[in-house]
A and B are shown apart, each in its own frame.
Chain A
Amino acid sequence: MISQFFVLSQRGDNIVFRDYRGEIQKGSAEIFFRKVKFWKEDGEGDAPPVFNVDGVSYFHVKVAGLLFVATTRVNVSPSLVLELLQRIARVIKDYLGVLNEDSLRKNFVLVYELLDEVIDFGYVQRTSTEVLKSYVFNEPIVVDAARLPPPGPGSIFMQGTKRMPGTAITKSVVANEPGGRKREEIFVDVIEKISITFSSSGYILTCEIDGTIQMKSYLTGNPEIRLALNEDLGIGRGGSSSHAGAVILDDCNFHESVHLDSFDVNRTLALVPPDGEFPVMNYRMTQVFKPPFRITALIEEAGSLKAEVIIKLHSAFSSSITANTVLIQMPLPSFTTRISFDLEPGAVGNTTDFNQANKRLEWGLKKIVGGSEHTLRAKLTFSQESHGNIVKEAGPVSMTFTIPMYNASGLQVKYLQIAKKSKTYNPYRWVRYVTQANSYVARL
């Protein structure tokens, strides 16, 4: 049970504010915002998503640069409130197509309508985009998505790759296409995030893939859908050992609309997708896999007040695939004053930078094709002698990247079947893969 809900901009302005129970004094939004702002300035890191000030508990999640906040005086389930905040953000996004400060300001009356139906007197009523449709009467005012950097992992599909219709992910579930008719289509995205730590000698210390099969449906009439995964997919490490090469997940969970009746037999998920975006299945895998990138980094003293850094990067995926927005970062000793970079001859799309404020080396690569190798050399100049071990003063190297049409786990959607309503009914179906770095780290 919550008492108030509000959305604040990055500057702390109220964009929507709804008081459901009238039991919390005025000014809670200011109290909250000050607390969050000063948390960081007091050197305590980010404010935790739940904290208590004078008997009032404040919950918040950050979505698209906005703060979604709930308050209560009751000892509620924190998980429930945080899940709810995230869900409200998602429902709003389903309606507006794009979720950001601008779209929220333009549509705040619609958002109030939604909030009235989602929560009554602090109790959750319904959060299904579909059910809410019959109680929401404002038409969304669509903002121009192209101008804005789109948030969320699915958004990468909008850039570059010509095979995807550009507006797919930013389309409102209620607004009609300019042509008047809605296009029948469904998107299934397999999004994987890799966490991996390499030791200084290049061994994998820990690795994990956190994956989601995300669905967004624009189908009318709620047809049933069957989604078939690898037949030899194993779940639970303690289970019967399948043959080599099989994908073994540690664990997974499912959206409530999913029927698992035939899942145990042939790894097929059956569901009637609700409108809007939702995760069909989340999974986690710690089975050893082939990492898409190998990084080796070295820092060595080279005379007094000087050192050299060498970072080598090898892309271990097929050459038909291209990784983009690659960024490599490495903290350097605090007494580093200057760096001169030395890229390989012929390197294109590379950027190098020395971030003075936090003493960090930054190496960006626009594109990396599979099976290639890249090297960066950097000469450092220090302001003082390093007394201890220079390796302890620097590192570790971390990396972020996005690789479309690639997934590291080997989990695949074998087919996507839509129950046919008529012979001519043939909606568009898009199955897409993307892999991103979550925590991709090489130690020195």
Chain B
Amino acid sequence: MAPPAQSKRSASPSQPSGKSEVSDLKSQLRQLAGSRAPGVDDSKRELFKKVISYMTIGIDVSSLFGEMVMCSAASDIVLKKMCYLYVGNYAKGNPDLALLTINFLQRDCKDEDPTIRGLALRSLCSLRVANLVEYLVGPLGSGLKDNNSYVRMVAVIGVLKLYHISGSTCVDADFPVMLKSLMLNDPDTQVVANCLSALQEIWSSEASTSEEASREREALLSKSVVYYFLNRIKEFSEWAQCLVMELVAKYVPSDNNEIFDIMNLLEDRLHHANGAVVLAAIKVFLQLTLSMTDVHQQVYERIKAPLLTLVSSGSPEQSYAVLSHLHLLVTRAPYIFSADYKHFYCQYNEPSYVKKLKLDMLTAVANESNTYEIVTELCEYAANVDIPIARESIRAVGKIALQQYDVNAIVDRLLQFLEMEKDYVTAEALVLVKNLLRKYPQWSHDCIAVVGNISSKNVQEPKAKAALIWMLGEYSQDMHDAPYILENLIENWDEEHSAEVRLHLLTAVMKCFFKRAPETQKALGAALASGLADFHQDVHDRALFYYRLLQYNLSVAEQVVNPPKQAVSVFADTQSSEIKDRIFDEFNSLSVVYQKPSYMFTDKEHRGPFEFSDELGNLSIGTESADTVVPAQIVEANDKDLLLSTDEKEEGRDPSSNGSAYNAPSYDGTASQTQIELAISSPSVPGHALPSSLAIDDLLGLGLQLGAATTPSPPQLKLNQKAVLDPGSFQQKWRQLPISLSQEYSISPQGVAALTSPPALLQHMQGQSIHCIASGGQPPNLKFFFFAQKAEESSTFLVECIINTSSAKAQIKIKSDDQITSQAFSTLFQSALSTFGFP
């Protein structure tokens, strides 16, 4: 009996299809319900199968509920199981009918066969009907005490199911406590593992409202519990071992001996054939040794071979998961893997998701000793039939070129790409040559010779076209034909669909004009006219700006368009190191595959037990202590404000003057997602005496940056003494906001001494209108979360402050919805902290 293979598209529940079959089934089931004829069970089985197969393909068979329940009163276990499956699927939508099943499920929960007891209990808990929870408590209670481990195993998960239907019923019946005692005493490891899963879920979700739950959750990480699990780890199934090791990875051992004991115990897990077990063990190793640099490095060496073995055994899907983690490790410590680069060579039959990761790894591990071979290999892929991969390979060559000191050989290869006469190869190579020239202007001569031979007609992709035009403008004095090629392009202005290209065209023709005015004048006029008539706002505005600039003063215009430039020394990564660390902390989770920390792709309640978090729930809530503090020292705080406003003005300008002295025009919003340019401010460059507000060169490509230089200095900062923020909003904001400042302060010896009583610090800060929302940790590492609000406005400052009492250092991270005053606030915070401990 198979599910019908006809098209399922028409069989969605909203459509009437299948109706006649369903009513047919209904009457047949009715006939059989009361029958005791021999062979009736077989006929019922056939009918049940039909019902389940309809259910699977999405036909709504919920109208058969009554008949199904009547028929399954029989003792045939196959029938029973099919009925359980059916009931579980439809009970939620038919709570009244679900009540019909309670009776026989409850009876089955008392059956003498443990398999039936387990099955019935599982189905009973799967009904997901809120008003039936009262019927669950009894059977669950006896299930947890059942002498058969199968039933207990089912009951433990049943408790979790109950919790999700009605948390209060579950907690009121004291089930979490019973689970805890089962977890620590049950002889069956699957029962124990289920208890751990269930308790982690229950306590994590209770922790935000119940202090006891958050204590219990902490207690799972206590030495005794962790050791209890570790000592039995080999009895657990491979899946439960993963669970246990995930727990151990969060445990903080008290000394190094403990660390080595745990690692020795788990050493052989690295040889497991199941990749999930190996990765879970690796996570433990990495987390435990974070503070021991040498050992941490040895761990990398140790895990290399097992990871590579996992990559090459198993299905492409399995190796992808492992490879993603290898990718993370390689980008973190490329030098450790640089000798293994051959393992990252692509095989022709690998799926492109694997190839992409490998190309990335090849880029990361390239260094002086292996670059030649890696680039040679990558060039082989450039001619690949798989075009996306061919493109990626060329980009990889480019990235390697930008991170190397000796690029001679690579430049030659790139120029060969330009001669390959494949559109996409030429396009990618042009973009690379442009980037390369911005970093190594000394190569311009060789590159320009080759680029000059490329017919602009063969370049269609906007990015590549923009790169070519940039080079035409930038090197117009060396490229004989530059003004004429530009002129040609301008003649076809209307056919150019990409605004990015048109913007570049404007700028390039301006540059060309200042170098070869007689030849370019006509083209410039045409470009400005077309630009002014352009429907695209940015293009229009830039044309107008150039026009007015030229009218105003030619030499100023030249300084704006063609200032002396300094080579870009580093193309920065878009991903901040904070994000990368965050992903590393979430090793062995989806974060690694997506290359994003979990808060970017999950909802809070689904973040799961893997989150390595600075959640407030981990820390004791400090609000009550703050309430009891008398607001004091207001006068002092005000004095500080006055002092502050002077310091402030200087520092406050910093972020904006970072804005750039040099910025090549390649960028508009779409130009690149993988690189942003790190502008180099170069006040010492001779001839660059322009006031900073004018030193913006082609920043116009970015348009909006203009404002940055003229940002008014921030007003003096006053804090609201009675600021309020509930922990929920704090967490939400903390998650959403970027870090505006991250700093390290020293703490006076008096301050350290006073920290023997952390609440004293909270009182002290409260006196400065900086409120503590949560704190925790044990000396020497203390962690505090503070917040403050501006007096007049609603902007809030959030602070994470980690104080190490042995090194007398405080690490501060400030987040704020008002970026501009963050620095001012930081100063305020520091001064508040520095006075701590002085009476």
B830 CB within 8 Å of chain A: no
A116 touches B350 (CB 8 A): no
A301 CB within 8 Å of chain B: no
B266 CB within 8 Å of chain A: no
Q: In the complex, A83 Cα to B154 Cα: how many Å?
A: 23
Q: In the complex, A48 Cα to B356 Cα: how many Å?
A: 11
Residue ID in chain A nearest B597 by CB atoms: A75
State how many angstroms separate the Cβ of A261 from the closest Cβ of chain B. 12
A55 touches B353 (CB 8 A): no
State how many angstroms separate the Cβ of B90 from the closest Cβ of chain A. 12
* Contact residues in A for B317 (Cβ distance below 8 Å): 49, 60-62, 82, 85-86
B421 touches A388 (CB 8 A): yes
* 8 Å CB contact of B305 from A236, A393, A395: A236
A443 touches B8 (CB 8 A): no
* Contact residues in B for A134 (Cβ distance below 8 Å): 115
Residue ID in chain B nearest A389 by CB atoms: B420
* Contact residues in B for A138 (Cβ distance below 8 Å): 78
B5 touches A13 (CB 8 A): yes
B611 touches A78 (CB 8 A): no
A121 CB within 8 Å of chain B: yes
B160 CB within 8 Å of chain A: yes
* 8 Å CB contact of A253 from B1, B78, B272, B592: B272
Q: 0/1 per residue, A237-279, Cβ < 8 Å to B?
A: 0000000000000111111100000000000000000000001
A22 CB within 8 Å of chain B: yes
State how many angstroms separate the Cβ of B608 from the closest Cβ of chain A. 4
Residue ID in chain A nearest B52 by CB atoms: A109
Q: In the complex, A75 Cα to B89 Cα: how many Å?
A: 26
B275 touches A83 (CB 8 A): yes
* 8 Å CB contact of B190 from A57, A75, A126: A126
B273 touches A13 (CB 8 A): no
Given contacts A105-B5, A127-B239, A282-B313, A121 and B161 within 8 Å (CB-CB): yes
A432 CB within 8 Å of chain B: no
Most A-side CB within 10 Å, residue of B273, B309, B349, B389: B273
A123 touches B309 (CB 8 A): no
* Contact residues in B for A60 (Cβ distance below 8 Å): 317
B56 touches A15 (CB 8 A): yes
Given contacts A44-B388, A106-B2, A121-B157, A255 and B273 within 8 Å (CB-CB): yes
* Contact residues in B for A21 (Cβ distance below 8 Å): 164
B308 CB within 8 Å of chain A: yes
Interfacial residues of chain B within 548-583, with CB under 8 A of chain A in the complex? none
* Contact residues in A for B349 (Cβ distance below 8 Å): 398, 438-439
B306 touches A251 (CB 8 A): yes
Q: 0/1 per residue, B68-110, Cβ < 8 Å to A?
A: 0000000001100110010001001000000000000000000
Q: In the complex, A438 Cα to B319 Cα: how many Å?
A: 14
Interfacial residues of chain B within 516-566, with CB under 8 A of chain A in the complex? none
State how many angstroms separate the Cβ of A437 from the closest Cβ of chain B. 9
B56 touches A14 (CB 8 A): yes
B823 CB within 8 Å of chain A: no
A76 touches B610 (CB 8 A): yes
B66 CB within 8 Å of chain A: no
A396 CB within 8 Å of chain B: yes
* 8 Å CB contact of A206 from B81, B194, B342: B342
Interfacial residues of chain A within 43-61, with CB under 8 A of chain B in the complex? 43-50, 52, 55, 57, 60-61
State how many angstroms separate the Cβ of B602 from the closest Cβ of chain A. 5
* Contact residues in B for A422 (Cβ distance below 8 Å): none
* 8 Å CB contact of B238 from A1, A109, A256, A284: A256
B197 touches A1 (CB 8 A): yes
Q: In the complex, A127 Cα to B277 Cα: how many Å?
A: 15
A112 CB within 8 Å of chain B: yes
* Contact residues in A for B8 (Cβ distance below 8 Å): 13-14
B273 touches A80 (CB 8 A): no
B273 touches A108 (CB 8 A): no
Given contacts A86-B314, A252-B271, A80 and B276 within 8 Å (CB-CB): yes
* 8 Å CB contact of A46 from B150, B271, B305, B351: B351
A387 CB within 8 Å of chain B: yes
State how many angstroms separate the Cβ of A73 from the closest Cβ of chain B. 4
Most B-side CB within 10 Å, residue of A16, A281, A284: A284
B347 touches A22 (CB 8 A): no
Q: 0/1 per residue, A312-332, Cβ < 8 Å to B?
A: 000000000000000000010
B594 touches A52 (CB 8 A): yes
Interfacial residues of chain B within 269-292, with CB under 8 A of chain A in the complex? 270-276, 278-280
A388 touches B420 (CB 8 A): yes
B315 CB within 8 Å of chain A: yes
B589 touches A76 (CB 8 A): yes
Q: In the complex, A43 Cα to B246 Cα: how many Å?
A: 38
State how many angstroms separate the Cβ of A390 from the closest Cβ of chain B. 11
* Contact residues in B for A62 (Cβ distance below 8 Å): 315, 317
Q: In the complex, A49 Cα to B499 Cα: how many Å?
A: 36
B312 CB within 8 Å of chain A: yes
Q: 0/1 per residue, A403-444, Cβ < 8 Å to B?
A: 000000000000000000000000000000000001101010
Interfacial residues of chain B within 168-200, with CB under 8 A of chain A in the complex? 190, 194, 197
Please report whether the interface of chain B is mostly helix, strand, loop or mixed according to DSSP: helix
* Contact residues in A for B350 (Cβ distance below 8 Å): 439
A208 CB within 8 Å of chain B: yes
Residue ID in chain B nearest A395 by CB atoms: B383
Q: In the complex, A396 Cα to B419 Cα: how many Å?
A: 20
Given contacts A17-B56, A43-B388, A80-B239, A50 and B606 within 8 Å (CB-CB): no
Interfacial residues of chain A within 107-152, with CB under 8 A of chain B in the complex? 108-109, 112-113, 116, 120-121, 123-128, 134-135, 137-138
* 8 Å CB contact of B320 from A48, A86, A124, A206: A48
* Contact residues in B for A25 (Cβ distance below 8 Å): none
Q: In the complex, A106 Cα to B5 Cα: how many Å?
A: 11
B709 CB within 8 Å of chain A: no
* Contact residues in B for A393 (Cβ distance below 8 Å): 383
Q: In the complex, A15 Cα to B56 Cα: how many Å?
A: 7
A439 touches B348 (CB 8 A): yes
B276 touches A79 (CB 8 A): yes
B312 touches A392 (CB 8 A): no
* Contact residues in B for A336 (Cβ distance below 8 Å): none
Residue ID in chain B nearest A23 by CB atoms: B606
B273 touches A279 (CB 8 A): yes
Q: In the complex, A50 Cα to B53 Cα: how many Å?
A: 28
A229 CB within 8 Å of chain B: no
A195 CB within 8 Å of chain B: yes
A73 touches B606 (CB 8 A): yes
B590 touches A50 (CB 8 A): yes
* Contact residues in A for B3 (Cβ distance below 8 Å): 14-15, 105, 108
A283 CB within 8 Å of chain B: yes
A77 CB within 8 Å of chain B: yes
A123 touches B197 (CB 8 A): yes
B309 touches A46 (CB 8 A): no
Q: 0/1 per residue, B779-803, Cβ < 8 Å to A?
A: 0000000000000000000000000
Residue ID in chain B nearest A212 by CB atoms: B313
Interfacial residues of chain B within 349-394, with CB under 8 A of chain A in the complex? 349-353, 380, 383, 385-389
Residue ID in chain A nearest B234 by CB atoms: A256
A-B contacts besides A14-B56, A123-B194, 13 pairs, CB < 8 Å: A74-B606, A77-B589, A79-B321, A80-B276, A82-B320, A109-B49, A116-B85, A126-B190, A127-B239, A206-B345, A236-B305, A284-B313, A439-B349
22 interchain pairs, CB-CB under 8 A = A1-B197, A45-B386, A45-B388, A49-B353, A74-B607, A75-B590, A76-B610, A77-B246, A105-B5, A109-B82, A120-B122, A123-B194, A126-B190, A127-B239, A195-B347, A253-B271, A253-B306, A256-B238, A256-B274, A395-B383, A396-B380, A438-B347
Q: 3 nearest interchain CB pairs? A: A45-B352, A439-B347, A105-B2
B residues bordering A, Cβ < 8 Å?
Answer: 1-3, 5, 8, 49, 52-53, 56-58, 77-78, 81-82, 85, 89, 92, 115, 122, 128, 150, 153-154, 157, 160-161, 164, 190, 194, 197, 237-240, 242, 246, 270-276, 278-280, 305-306, 308-310, 312-318, 320-322, 324-325, 342, 345, 347-353, 380, 383, 385-389, 419-421, 586, 588-594, 598, 601-603, 606-608, 610-611
